């Protein structure tokens, strides 16, 4: 079955040319989830502890209807959950899917409280004087992949592959994962295009306004790749005197 590119187009084949079989890559599906392509989707690795109304719970145990603590709107209901497993060979073939490991304390004092493993596009909350000086916003959201190279932050190669999970709420939320404020699924155009048609249908059934309206309002300013790299470079130049998450 052909797979759509990120721009929504499909590959074409010239039947006059010879082709040979290369390989089959299987992305195993969770029995409680809808399949998707995680390249551009913010997601947590299995085992990540999410703060909920009943305490810290593994992200893989959360279901629609569960109550999760948010930074801005108290306890909110999970509306949709998705997940998929990417094998070790799949990560080798598609290194852009390799998770990003954020070591405990890499972002600030006890932030995260434990090692945090997320997809490359997953955004974390940065709160610092540096971000305020650069962007006039003390709090901004930065994709984990743009922080790689800073102390304690690197791409990982889990020997058994990685199982990714993500959570959708009524709005873009900031939720607490391993003691670090991180985003929920943001249903912008890029993320929606990365989902399978079945997943998009489910989400558009819950939120039909996404089909006709513009992208939803983000919980915080979403830094572009260029802005995020500028922030990381300033952080490196600062030599660690400032943390990415400060009490300001």
Residue 238 lies inside a defined structural domain of this protein: no
Q: For residues 185 and 164, what is the distance between their CA atoms, to the nearest angstrom?
A: 12
79-121 pLDDT, tens digit each: 999 888 999 999 999 999 999 999 999 999 999 999 999 999 9
Neighbours of 39 (CB within 10 A): 15
Query: Burial level of 178, CB count in 10 A (0-12/13-18/19+)?
Result: buried
Parent domain of 99: 27-122+150-218
pTM over 0.75, yes/no: yes
CA distances to 5, 32, 94, 100 from 29, in Å: 20, 8, 18, 21
Question: Residue 230 above 60 pLDDT?
Answer: yes
- Say if 8 falls within a structural domain: no
- CATH code for the domain of 200: 2.170.16
The C-alpha atoms of residue 26 and residue 154 are separated, in whole angstroms, by 25
pLDDT score at 214? 77
Total domains in the chain come to 1
Specify the pairing of strand 49-52 against strand 75-77.
unpaired
Cα of 219 vs its chain's centroid, Å: 14
pLDDT of residue 19: 36
């Amino acid at each position: 079955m052909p797979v759509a590119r990120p721009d929504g187009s499909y590959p074409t084949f010239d039947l006059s040319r010879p082709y040979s079989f290369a390989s089959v890559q299987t992305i195993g599906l969770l029995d409680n989830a809808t399949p998707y392509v995680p390249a551009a989707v913010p997601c947590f690795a299995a085992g990540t502890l999410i703060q909920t109304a009943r305490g810290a719970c593994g992200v893989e145990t959360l279901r629609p209807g569960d109550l999760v603590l948010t930074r801005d709107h108290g306890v909110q209901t999970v509306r949709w959950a998705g997940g998929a497993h990417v094998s070790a060979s799949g990560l080798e073939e598609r290194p852009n899917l390799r998770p990003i490991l954020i070591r405990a304390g890499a972002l600030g004092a006890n932030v995260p409280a434990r090692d945090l493993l997320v997809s490359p596009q997953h955004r974390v909350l940065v709160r610092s004087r540096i971000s305020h000086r650069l962007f006039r916003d003390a709090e901004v959201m930065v994709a984990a992949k743009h922080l790689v190279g800073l102390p304690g932050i690197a791409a990982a190669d889990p020997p058994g592959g990685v199982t990714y999970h993500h959570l959708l709420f009524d709005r873009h939320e900031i939720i607490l994962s391993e003691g670090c404020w991180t985003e929920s699924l943001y249903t912008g155009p890029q993320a929606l295009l990365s989902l399978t048609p079945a997943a998009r249908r489910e989400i558009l059934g819950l939120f039909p306004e996404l089909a006709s309206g513009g992208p939803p309002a983000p919980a915080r300013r979403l830094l572009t790749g260029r802005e995020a790299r500028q922030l990381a470079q300033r952080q490196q130049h600062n030599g660690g005197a400032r943390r990415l998450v400060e009490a300001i």
